[in-house]
Structure 1
Amino acid sequence: MPKKLIRITTIPLSLEKLLEGQLSFMNKYYEVTAVAAEKERLEKYGRDNDVKTFWVEMTRAITPVQDIKAVLRLYKYFKKEKPEIVHTHTPKAGIVGMLAAKMAGVPLRIHTVAGLPLMETTGRKRKLLNFVEKFTYKLATKVFPNSRGLEEIILKEGFAKEEKLKVLGKGSSNGIDTSYFDPSQFDAVQTKNKRKALGIAQDDFVFIFIGRLVSEKGINELVSAFETLQQEQEAISLLLVGPFEKELDPLRDKTFQAIKNNDKIYTTGYQADVRPYFSIANALVFPSYREGFPNVVMQAGAMNLPAIVTNINGCNEIIVEGINGVIIPVKDDEVLKKRMQLFVENKNYTERLATNAREEICKYYERKEFWRVLLKEYKNLEKAYLKS
């Protein structure tokens, strides 16, 4: 009888994108159950990935009453199922899942840290989030920061002791499928037609951003830098692939209007398959304020795109300055504009970065290798924490 492994994220989107393929792989070695909110989408994920599911209503906001209900629902489920391992991702799923697992006596409780939203917070809210983070790690038997930089922040903030932390491999929560993100799948005719369909000039240098179009992803600075560069370079376009989130972290009105009115800024909304958009771009720009270990930077690299990223954990581990991209300060649209200009004007430099980009990702972040590393870690932790 295989041991039971329960994986929890706040919403199914995290299972679909951040952990793509991983639960199906683990299902060969464990009886895997996926837990998240959004019942219908979760059940579809279960059918598509051939894993069991259990629905729990969770929110990404601070909602104490709803959170307590979620803890109690999970507690009852854990007492009934008696899993050997509960592994959580995302802050809300972390505190809810780890507390319920501890209460239910689950022997092996693992939490992956893929980013710290609290780093952009101040005042009372910051104190509350600090407490929740520290409490989550205390409840866990092991914590996996998904980058070296995150591990350093956790230690610096005093959230956990070093012996409780471990970064798997070179970082990431799931690695990258380099056979899926492969530029050779897209030929010149396909890319020409895709540009044409979007209305992008064939000769334009296309900067691409993929992710949520919110302030903390650096979109205000990106749009400002692009519009400044436009005054000197006409043959450039900016392609924004992702959804607006006006409730949680809206863009400045000036930025939103620029996106809406600038003929050279293109938006696509959320896209399940981002590869065709990478294939028509010349460089990734990812000026985020904070990350864990960003998939999009790995995906872009696998698609042979050089990247401009901010000097934050994760980004500054995937990108090596002058090898596969460049690193800039956070919230600095002036430096961002200069690096974008460098990419447009120095084609030899940009092509050299692009040549190295895929090689770096294949060498360090292949997805199936990450799965094997995680499976080995599960087995080692079983020996340490589970009764034979």
Structure 2
Amino acid sequence: MKLFVIGTLPSSLYNFRGELLQHFKGISSDINGLATGANLEDIKAVEQLGAKYIDYPVSRSGLNPREDFKTFKALQKIFKTQLPDVILAYTIKPIIWGAFAARCLPNCHFYALVTGLGFAFQRGNWKKNLLMKLVVILYKTALKNADKVIFQNPDNKQVFIDLGIVPEHKTAVVNGSGVDVKHFEVKPLPLTPKFLLIARLLGDKGIREYVKAANIIKQHYPQAVFQLVGPEDPSPDGIPLEELTKLNQNNSVDYLGETSDVRPFIDDCSIFVLPSYHEGLPRTVLEAMATGRPILTTDVPGCRETVINGENGWLVEKANVEQLVDRMTWFIENPLEWQRMADASRAMVENKFDVHKVNAELMDIMGLSK
């Protein structure tokens, strides 16, 4: 059996799907990871997991018909040459163009893993609404022959069903990508209020709200620390460093750039924050929970699955700076509650979000269980 796992970023193959690739080794010796623009270190990391790496062209953001057609033709050529038996594609472009390309393989099983609805599903001006209509049409047409469409939260699943993209009997839900609880060990909580947000510099990650809240909090609690870790992003929703600097004119937030290992930053924080507008199921939050950290996130699809209000953290309304400030203040004024919430976070991860449990569910959905 030849297995293909298709993403966009090479690092996501080993950071987010690494355990799954290793899991596949139990049923196949021919596992392949597809992404774009890998360097030698990326390729080595994928190969160390027991998979071959195959590069293909794909633009992560925007709709450029010429570039997207190149992606489709490249995948079609790879499929015709390699003849995979099972394909698992995740994120929008690999799912859509991978599904179309897979039609050249009548006996191949295609599975789509929807890791979030993304910028394309956020309503707004006429351009955003037009983009959403186009993406819905592409998804619906592409996924017509998919064996299963797998979601990371029930809200995203319902959106696809309500929009007529996919019938309910073809859908399934898993608890995110999971997290390796051995790789993310419990660490002692710092004694000072130190907030951390790890995310790409995108508007819909709540970066602007986080900085605005930090500006307000620092006026009243100068001892509080706010950190931000993550790379710039080329998508239309990206926040340039120039804008971040302007927002952060009071230097309330320490921007620490991007990293290949989030653990030292999570270890050093006392409260993890993700004010996102939407998620599939946020991996960084799971990693913080596994480390034993209280969580402050938004009451939106994906994020709300990670928090029981008052037990392991708090949920706030998206894009609501006032509520963010209120709950940050609560954390600062109630340090004796941190450990209780940290313990609850770790227990929730072990019970619900362990990567081995999630991968077993995926294997079962794909009919690959031993």
TM-score higher than 0.5 here? yes
Mapped partners of 2:77, 2:221: distance in 1: 61
Mapped partners of 2:359, 2:149: distance in 1: 17
Residue 12 of structure 2, aligned match among 14, 19, 26: 14
Mapped partners of 1:27, 1:336: distance in 2: 44
**Which range moves more in the overlay, 64-73 or 354-363?**
64-73
What are the Cα deviations for residues 203-261 of structure 1, in whole angstroms up to 9, with x where unaligned?
641000011122110010111111111111111011111112366323386643243x4
Deviation at 1:78, TM superposition (A): 1.7
Q: Which residue of 1 aligns with 2:363?
A: 375
Q: Which residue of 2 aligns with 1:104?
A: 105
Alignment of 1:178-193 (within 5 A): 178-184=181-187
2:246 corresponds to which letter in structure 1?
Q
Deviation at 1:167, TM superposition (A): 0.8
Deviation at 1:286, TM superposition (A): 0.4
2:365 corresponds to which letter in structure 1?
E
Q: Which residue of 1 aligns with 2:36?
A: 37
Alignment of 1:199-278 (within 5 A): 204-245=192-233, 248-251=236-239, 255-259=244-248, 261-278=249-266
Mapped partners of 1:272, 1:49: distance in 2: 17
Residue 271 of structure 2, aligned match among 280, 283, 290: 283
Mapped partners of 1:371, 1:353: distance in 2: 27
2:143–2:166 Cα contact (<8 Å) kept: yes
Mapped partners of 2:78, 2:13: distance in 1: 20
What are the Cα deviations for residues 244-300 of structure 1, in whole angstroms up to 9, with x where unaligned?
2366323386643243x4444212211111111111111011000111011111111
2:277–2:298 Cα contact (<8 Å) kept: yes
**Which range moves more in the overlay, 151-160 or 285-294?**
151-160
Q: Which residue of 2 aligns with 1:197?
A: none
- Is residue 152 of structure 2 the alignment partner of residue 146 of structure 1? yes
Deviation at 1:346, TM superposition (A): 1.6
User: Secondary structure of 2:5's match?
Assistant: strand
1:82–1:106 Cα contact (<8 Å) kept: no
1:83–1:106 Cα contact (<8 Å) kept: no
Deviation at 1:106, TM superposition (A): 4.1
Summarize the Cα distance change of 1:36–1:254 in structure 2 as closer, same or farther, 3 Å threshold.
Answer: closer
Deviation at 1:381, TM superposition (A): 9.1
Q: Which residue of 2 aligns with 1:176?
A: 179
2:110–2:148 Cα contact (<8 Å) kept: yes
Deviation at 1:123, TM superposition (A): 2.7
Residue 155 of structure 1, aligned match among 144, 149, 161: 161
User: Secondary structure of 1:288's match?
Assistant: coil
Unmatched segments (≥5 aa) in structure 1: 192-202, 383-388
1:71 corresponds to which letter in structure 2?
F
Residue 321 of structure 1, aligned match among 302, 305, 309: 309
Residue 336 of structure 1, aligned match among 324, 330, 334: 324
Mapped partners of 1:39, 1:354: distance in 2: 37
1:161 corresponds to which letter in structure 2?
P
Mapped partners of 1:106, 1:378: distance in 2: 15
2:185–2:291 Cα contact (<8 Å) kept: yes
**Which range moves more in the overlay, 57-66 or 337-346?**
57-66
Mapped partners of 2:254, 2:221: distance in 1: 17
Deviation at 1:48, TM superposition (A): 3.0
Root-mean-square deviation over aligned CA pairs: 2.1
Mapped partners of 2:205, 2:366: distance in 1: 33
Identity score, percent: 26
Q: Which residue of 1 aligns with 2:333?
A: 345
1:124 corresponds to which letter in structure 2?
L
Summarize the Cα distance change of 1:39–1:345 in structure 2 as closer, same or farther, 3 Å threshold.
Answer: closer
Q: Which residue of 2 aligns with 1:87?
A: 88
Q: Which residue of 2 aligns with 1:68?
A: 69
What are the Cα deviations for residues 26-81 of structure 1, in whole angstroms up to 9, with x where unaligned?
12312211111114355334333231122111111212222222222222222232
- Is residue 170 of structure 2 the alignment partner of residue 164 of structure 1? yes
1:151 corresponds to which letter in structure 2?
K
Unmatched segments (≥5 aa) in structure 2: none
**Which range moves more in the overlay, 339-348 or 63-72?**
63-72
User: When the two structures are superposed, what TM-score results if normalisation uses the length of structure 2?
Assistant: 0.91
- Is residue 24 of structure 2 the alignment partner of residue 26 of structure 1? yes
1:12–1:45 Cα contact (<8 Å) kept: no
**Which range moves more in the overlay, 345-354 or 228-237?**
345-354
User: Secondary structure of 1:33's match?
Assistant: strand
**Which range moves more in the overlay, 266-275 or 44-53?**
44-53
2:289–2:295 Cα contact (<8 Å) kept: yes
User: Secondary structure of 2:44's match?
Assistant: helix
Mapped partners of 1:113, 1:43: distance in 2: 24
Deviation at 1:370, TM superposition (A): 1.8
What are the Cα deviations for residues 119-151 of structure 1, in whole angstroms up to 9, with x where unaligned?
224232221122122223223121001111211
Mapped partners of 1:349, 1:287: distance in 2: 21
User: Secondary structure of 1:379's match?
Assistant: coil
Q: Which residue of 2 aligns with 1:47?
A: 47
